[in-house]
């Protein structure tokens, strides 16, 4: 699952955080997404979480949007 790989690459997260990432990722997955799309979604979730977004609903909402550059 891309979210677990991205979480591992980003740092050490506990089981509760990984479960949160998984739930958010499942809510954001599109039907028949490309591998690149899945990677992008996983990156957004982790980046938003690391930026301080801890609320699940807010994490879902913000992770739908492209990351700022």
Domain locations in the chain as residue ranges: 2-63
Q: Which H or E element spans position 49?
A: helix 35-50
The H-or-E segment that residue 38 falls in is helix 35-50
> What confidence category does residue 67 fall into, taking pLDDT thresholds of 50, 70 and 90?
low
When pLDDT is cut at 50, 70 and 90, the band that residue 60 belongs to is: very high
The model carries a pTM of: 0.78
């Amino acid at each position: 699952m891309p979210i677990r790989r991205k979480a591992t690459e980003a740092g050490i997260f506990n089981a509760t955080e990984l479960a949160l990432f998984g739930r958010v990722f499942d809510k954001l997955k599109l039907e028949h997404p490309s591998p690149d799309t899945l990677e992008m979604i996983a990156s957004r979730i982790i980046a938003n979480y690391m930026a301080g977004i801890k609320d699940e609903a807010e994490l879902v909402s913000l992770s739908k949007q492209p990351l700022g550059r």
